[in-house]
Structure 1
Amino acid sequence: MLLYKQKKNQAAKGKRFLINITVRGSAGPIRFVVSEDDLVVTVLDNALKQYAREGRLPVLGSDINSFMLYCPVSETEAISPWMTIGSVGFRNFGMCKKPQTEKDKVIGNGVDGGGDKSPLDKAVTDPRKGGSGNWKAWFNKSLNLKISSH
């Protein structure tokens, strides 16, 4: 009798199924079990946590608002974050960062009219220096140091 009640509670909870989420630039898909009633935003959050837990590269961060989930069949449209994952009808998904809007690009580059860039920003983004050449020079120099033996 007790087993019957547990099965009844599980049925009320919703069906569970395995999904695959392929992250652009990563080696392979992330796999985990979801309920068909889970929202897409919850699935994105779980995917980012699983990705970080596995120590995958490239490092993505944890801001779910900057990512979108899409079906590989129709890559042109992102799935609404407020849909349930079971209503989509697929079990294989893709995940990538949302494209930046023009406003985000302007603010991100320090051209928002708030003054000049800091000297550190200029050193990192100066095209004459090749972007991140400072740390490369330091790294190469530190490798060339010879350790004298006694």
Structure 2
Amino acid sequence: MLLYKQKKNQPSKGNRFLISVTVLGSAGPIRFVVNEDELVAAVIDTALKSYAREGRLPILGSDLNNFMLYCPIAGTEALSPWETIGSVGVRNFMLCKKPQTENSIDSEKSSAISRKGSGSWKAWFHKSLNLKISSH
């Protein structure tokens, strides 16, 4: 019988555990394994990459600075990006977009206006959804 021996010059990786991250507005949770000493920011990044890889909707983007990770059991405060995921003591989390400020909303409106004339299929699709069909 062969026993696995850890190399002496290799540091211990710490405990690993399965977490479940529910994205607000998505169909179901994303599950993946993390180290207990991994930072919350790294967990958010991994969750966003897994979400995009699976092709889930709504499309979120990849900037982890636009998101907050909550622990529904621990309270209403978002977790700090610099704390470790294992320090919370739970395995179920909620990923939400940060609330937008007025400046970011204004910049999004101006960029949407500038894109309107581009003639992209997305603009046509959104315009066609906004058409009202009158019923008799």
Question: Into which bin does the TM-score normalised by the smaller protein fall?
Answer: 0.7 to 0.9
**Larger relative helix fraction:** 1
Rate the CA distance shift 1:75–1:105 in 2: closer, same or farther, 3 A: farther
Aligned-residue CA RMSD (Å): 2.9
Superimposed CA distance per residue, residues 76-109 of structure 1 (whole angstroms, 9 cap, x where no aligned partner) = 3111111110111110000011110122223323
Partner residue of 1:145? Answer: none
Q: Output the CA distance in 1 between the equivalents of 2:77 and 2:88.
A: 12
Partner residue of 1:3? Answer: 4
Indicate the SS of the match to 2:50: helix
Q: Output the CA distance in 1 between the equivalents of 2:47 and 2:130.
A: 37
Indicate the SS of the match to 2:6: helix
Partner residue of 1:13? Answer: 13
The number of residue pairs the alignment matches comes to 121
Q: Output the CA distance in 2 between the equivalents of 1:6 and 1:100.
A: 48
Rate the CA distance shift 1:8–1:86 in 2: closer, same or farther, 3 A: farther
Answer 1 or 2: higher relative contact order, Cα 8 Å, separation at least 6: 2
Partner residue of 2:76? Answer: 76
Partner residue of 1:47? Answer: 47
Rate the CA distance shift 1:104–1:137 in 2: closer, same or farther, 3 A: closer
Indicate the SS of the match to 1:5: coil
Partner residue of 1:86? Answer: 86
Q: Output the CA distance in 1 between the equivalents of 2:53 and 2:106.
A: 33
Superimposed CA distance per residue, residues 85-135 of structure 1 (whole angstroms, 9 cap, x where no aligned partner) = 01111100000111101222233233xxxxxx54827xxxxxxxxxx43x4
Indicate the SS of the match to 1:44: helix
**Structure 1 unmatched ranges of 5 or more:** 111-116, 122-131, 139-150
Partner residue of 1:25? Answer: 25
Say which one has the larger Rg.
1
Indicate the SS of the match to 1:100: coil
**Structure 2 unmatched ranges of 5 or more:** 118-125, 132-136
CA drift at 1:63 = 1.1
Q: Output the CA distance in 2 between the equivalents of 1:58 and 1:118.
A: 23
